Amino acid sequence: MNKIEGKAWIFGDDINTDLMYPQICYTLPEKEKPHHAMEANRPGWASSVRNSDIIIAGKNFGTGSSRPAADNIKNLGISCVLAESLNGLFLRNSVNSGLPSLEVHGISGIVKEGNIVAIDFSSNTVMDKETGKVMKFKPLPAFLMEIIDNGGIINILKNKGLLGPPL
């Protein structure tokens, strides 16, 4: 993966996994689950998301339980999460899901909702294409990017012949 570009959706601090994957999702068919992401704090938001859109958030994004929140927002069409800081469990789950999630200090005060954001993994930069402002991010280690580039941990295990047949 070299570049991602998409519309920015702005969220604040302490966005928890219960918002991304609400309780009702446990009772729904897979295809319906993403349509309930963030509905408790942004009713109707999921119906406005398009493939390649990007979440921009404040501090401690992904706090809470280990619900399959990263899968849910990825399945909705979110291509990347950029946050001031990420909860460690959410970061690991997002890597396992193949969803790039990056800490970009200062981003929540720079990008406005609706702006187009371009992420360049080769230069470790994020650009707000509306304002031209560029921010640097610390790259994820190569072994984590390999998992993301392969679409998640299950795909990389399959590609390497390490995942056996189902029981």
**What local confidence, expressed as pLDDT, does residue 144 receive?**
94
**What local confidence, expressed as pLDDT, does residue 161 receive?**
85
**What local confidence, expressed as pLDDT, does residue 165 receive?**
64
- Considering the four listed CATH numbers 3.30.160.270, 3.40.640.10, 3.20.19.10, 3.40.50.1820, the one that applies to the domain covering 3-139 is 3.20.19.10
Distance of alpha carbon 120 from alpha carbon 3, whole angstroms: 5
Q: Which residue spans within the chain are E strands per DSSP?
A: 3-10, 54-57, 80-83, 101-103, 116-120, 125-128, 134-136
| SS3 annotation, 153-167 | HHHHHHHCCCCCCCC
**Buried b vs exposed e over 42-58: b needs ≥16 C-beta within 10 Å?**
eeeebeebeeebbbbbb
Q: What backbone torsions phi and psi does residue 102 show, to the nearest 5 degrees?
A: -130, 145
**What local confidence, expressed as pLDDT, does residue 163 receive?**
80
Digit-by-digit pLDDT tens for the chain (167 residues) are 799 999 999 999 999 999 999 999 999 999 999 999 999 999 999 999 999 999 999 999 999 877 899 999 999 999 999 999 999 999 999 999 999 999 999 998 899 999 999 999 999 999 999 999 999 999 999 999 999 999 999 998 888 888 866 55
Closest CA to 117 of 148, 83, 146: 83
78, 127 contact by CB (below 8 A)? no
| Cβ contacts of 154 within 8 Å, gap of 6 or more | 163
Question: What are the sequence ranges of the domains in the chain?
Answer: 3-139
